[in-house]
Structures are given as structure tokens and as C-alpha cells.
């Protein structure tokens, strides 16, 4: 009998060199924080970056990072959160038209709290922020862009890394980063561009974080992008509970599954997994300044 699609995958073979999960959502996962961290550490994933997507999640990320030495926080309003705040759209996008919402003042208030959280020492990044055009209409796009620009400025004022969510918005994300001036440390979470964009990002000094998507059969463009990215600019993540790597695609994800992605990345680069893990660990510590 095949396993249920909601059954957690088994523990993989441990890595010999410890790495970090550069982007995860422990608050959305089945295990408790303690159990999730225990399982991850048992396979060589000894550090995680817990990412907030709204005010509540960002507060939780900061509190959790304060409580656990091996958890670092990133705080932000997800791109789809900005239209929800401005227009009162409960789904965070406005393709069907805006409803009465809090307006720009409400967004400004939310961003002010994000900046207060970003100033905390356990908060290492501002993100995930950026643009998401997958379900966003024109009014939602305007709110997203305003929010993205504000997050860039917060990251620079607080000297924190910027973590970017870029979904079907590559050209506009790169344009806004050029216009605003990117923070010194900028990370493209769950990189989804092609090799050409990867070269452009590397030339700008950005970090590219690869998720379980790089293991998918139909993801050759991602593997091509990984192949041309300088090794010192590459990170690894789960985005758990989403984007579970092969062969468990469709089942719940968690930080303990990072070894599967690390091994796939090493194969793409033609290096052994220890060399890949060593680079990933150093890069993540440098990107998030911990």
C-alpha cells in the first residue's frame, strides 16, 4: 500500500557536515518546535531561519528565535498580506476588486511594527517580502510594490538581510531592487528564475536559496540556474511545510528533509555532499550574519 499523502516522510541519512535551513515555517508544521528541531538536528540540520508572513507570524518568529539558540527570525508582511491590509481583502489579493479596508495608514502601522521587530537582535532578516503576481490584480500589485519598497528601506535601516518572495514577478523585483538600492545582504527565497536571471543576481551580489523544487523532474531550468550560480552565493531551504523534495513531493515538508535537497544540489554541481554542505553552512551564516 502506498503511503498517505499526509504522512510525514522518513528521516533521511544524516549529513556529515551540518547545514542550516535558510527558510522555514515552524508555526505551520505538524511537529512541535522542540520535536521539529530535534529531528532536524538528528540528520545534520542544526540551524533554521523561521520566517514570518504577517504581524502575528512575525511576532511568533521573534519570540521563538529568542527562546531557541539555533533558531533565527525573519519578519515581514508577505506580498499577499499588503493588499489584504490596504483593501480588506481576506485572501491578500484583489483580482475581484477591492473591498473596504484599512487603507495606506493601516499598512504604515503594520510596517512600523515590522520595523520594531526587525530591530531585535534575534531577528536576522526582513522577509519574506517582494512581489507575487500569481493571483494578484492591478490594485493588489500597487499595494505589494509599496510594501516591498518599505521593507527594503527597513532592512537597510536595521542592517538586516532582505528575504525576497518572487512569484511570477522577476523583472519587477529586479527593477525595484535597482531603483531602491538593495541591502548589502539580499536573499532570493525559493529561487524560481532561470540561468540568465541567476547570472544577473550573482553579478549584483544576491544570494539564491534553492528549495525542494530543484529536485522535481520538470525543474531543469532551476538546475541550470544552480549550475551557473557561484557556489558562495547558494543557500538551501525547505519552505516547509511546502515544496517537499523528491521522492516525497506532495507530502508534508519539514527541516529534517534538507539532506535530500543538499544531495540533489551536490549532484547538479558535480561535487560531493560534504563540500556542498560546507559551502551552504558558511553561506547561510554570512547571509544572515549569525
Enumerate the known binding-site residues for a divalent metal cation: 23, 25, 128, 165, 189, 239
Binding residues: 23, 25, 128, 165, 189, 239
Tell the burial category of 97 from Cβ atoms under 10 Å away from its Cβ (0-12, 13-18, 19+).
exposed
For helices 170-180 and 195-204, angle between their N-to-C axes, nearest 10 degrees: 10
Taking the C-alpha atoms of residue 94 and residue 141, their distance in angstroms, rounded to an integer, is 9
Backbone angles phi, psi at 134, to 5 degrees: -60, -45
Amino acid at each position: 500500500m502506498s503511503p498517505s499523502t499526509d504522512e510525514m516522510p522518513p528521516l533521511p541519512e544524516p549529513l556529515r557536515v551540518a547545514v542550516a535551513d535558510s527558510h522555514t515555517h515552524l508555526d505551520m508544521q505538524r511537529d512541535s518546535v522542540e520535536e521539529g528541531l530535534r529531528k532536524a538536528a538528528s540528520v545534520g540540520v542544526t540551524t533554521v531561519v523561521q520566517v514570518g508572513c504577517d504581524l502575528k507570524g512575525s511576532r511568533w518568529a521573534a519570540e521563538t528565535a529568542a527562546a531557541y539558540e539555533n533558531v533565527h527570525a525573519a519578519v515581514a508582511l508577505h506580498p499577499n498580506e499588503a493588499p489584504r491590509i490596504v483593501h480588506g481583502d481576506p485572501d491578500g489579493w484583489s483580482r475581484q476588486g477591492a473591498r473596504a479596508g484599512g487603507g495606506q495608514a493601516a499598512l504604515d502601522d503594520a510596517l512600523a511594527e515590522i520595523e520594531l521587530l526587525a530591530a531585535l537582535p534575534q531577528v536576522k532578516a526582513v522577509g519574506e517580502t517582494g512581489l507575487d503576481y500569481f493571483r494578484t490584480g492591478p490594485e493588489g500589485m500597487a499595494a505589494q510594490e509599496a510594501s516591498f519598497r518599505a521593507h527594503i528601506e527597513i532592512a537597510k535601516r536595521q542592517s538586516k538581510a532582505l528575504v525576497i518572495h518572487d512569484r511570477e514577478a522577476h523583472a519587477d523585483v529586479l527593477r525595484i531592487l535597482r531603483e531602491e538600492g538593495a541591502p548589502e545582504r539580499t536573499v532570493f527565497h525559493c529561487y524560481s528564475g532561470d540561468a540568465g536571471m541567476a547570472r544577473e543576481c550573482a553579478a549584483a551580489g544576491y544570494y539564491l536559496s534553492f528549495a525542494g523544487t530543484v529536485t522535481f523532474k520538470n525543474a531543469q531550468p532551476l538546475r541550470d540556474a544552480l549550475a551557473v550560480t557561484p557556489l558562495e552565493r547558494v543557500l538551501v531551504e525547505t519552505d516547509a511545510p511546502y515544496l517537499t523534495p523528491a521522492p516525497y513531493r506532495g507530502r508534508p515538508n519539514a527541516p529534517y528533509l534538507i539532506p535530500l535537497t543538499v544531495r540533489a544540489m551536490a549532484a547538479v554541481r558535480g561535487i560531493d555532499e560534504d563540500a556542498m554542505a560546507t559551502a551552504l553552512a558558511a553561506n547561510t551564516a554570512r547571509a544572515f550574519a549569525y
